[in-house]
Amino acid sequence: MAAESTANPRGLWTPEEIVREATATRARRVHAHEKTPEERLEETLRLSRLIGELRQGAPHDVRAG
């Protein structure tokens, strides 16, 4: 898994925004850990198909890896 950023958000964030973002990040992390391998595979396949469609529809906008 990608290394997690320990830095504060960029820009001028209010303390409330920082707390809200930290809460949302924790919720996303918990949700990600609850996914089954099948759900992860399906998500990967959906994203792969989307990337393929974007490359076909906009070859100059999306770099082909």
What pLDDT was estimated at residue 57?
82
58 falls within a domain: yes
Total of domains in the chain: 1
Tens-place pLDDT, residues 28-54: 999 989 999 999 999 999 999 999 988
Give the residue numbers spanning the domain of 56: 29-65
In whole angstroms, give the CA distance from residue 58 to residue 30: 35
Confidence of residue 1 (pLDDT cuts 50, 70, 90): very low
50 falls within a domain: yes
44 falls within a domain: yes
Of residues 10 and 39, more confidently modeled: 39
> Global pTM?
0.48
7 falls within a domain: no
In whole angstroms, give the CA distance from residue 48 to residue 56: 12
